[in-house]
Amino acid sequence: MKSFEELLTTSAEAHGHLCPGQVVGVRMAILGSRLIGLDDPSSRHQIKKLIVYVEMDRCIADAVAHVTGAKLGRRSLKFMDYGIMAATFVNLETDKAYRVLSTEEARDLAFVYAPEVTEKYRQQLEAYRRMPDSVLFRVQRVQVSLSDFDLPGPTRRKVSCTSCGQVVRDQREVVVEGDILCRPCGQGAYFSDAKEVSWPDMDLAPVPPDSKQQAVNSER
């Protein structure tokens, strides 16, 4: 794994700015990976062994994802919307899993770890670098039950919603009074009043649809 400082720099670049959350997130990811026995989680030979659950959509989450290489689209990153500054690191090979929680007291202790820095934001930045892991985090050993439908790899199952026809992948459907429904139809959604519409320039495409034909012609 790269050094803490290197990871912090690249994480801050990827996130958009350097902030106390980046420091905590990078350290959380380094600790979590170490606990499950992965010394270079984003490397080719380790990345498939790792699943990471993040429990908040804050700066820390980006740092954890950056350091571990876990990605939502690869199903190695899971977002649990708990509003808790924590992440769980699972080694799929060994089933070892540790939940690392950022301590609330670390915030209160910033002024004793960086007393010479007066501005609060910078004080937290510096203090979170200096605090030992034992001050910055609590750790729980946990069991994580992962079904086949949660694992990376190809889609294991597809069904269609009997209400709207939408295809639902990997057993995310719900059954209501015997009907298979997508979650928006069965449980309600974050949106409402969905109505299909047309929109301006509907035929736009990054690559024009006739480009393939033109390419074939030019080869002739």
* Residues at the interface with other proteins (CB under 8 A): 103, 105, 108-109, 112-113, 115-116, 131-132, 134-135, 138
CB of 99 to other proteins, least distance (A): 13
CB of 31 to other proteins, least distance (A): 13
CA–CA gap between residue 155 and residue 143 (Å, rounded): 24
Comparing CB distances to other proteins, the nearer of 108 and 219 is 108
CB of 122 to other proteins, least distance (A): 16
Comparing CB distances to other proteins, the nearer of 89 and 113 is 113
Comparing CB distances to other proteins, the nearer of 70 and 110 is 110
Q: Which residues of 65-91 are buried (b: 16+ CB within 10 A; e: fewer)?
A: bbbbbbeeeeebbbeeeeeebbbbbbb
One-letter amino acid of 152: P
Distances (CA, A) of 173 to 5, 158, 162, 195, 199: 43, 9, 10, 21, 29
CA–CA gap between residue 161 and residue 184 (Å, rounded): 10
Largest CA distance in the chain: 75
> Do residues 110 and 55 make contact, with C-beta atoms less than 8 angstroms apart?
no
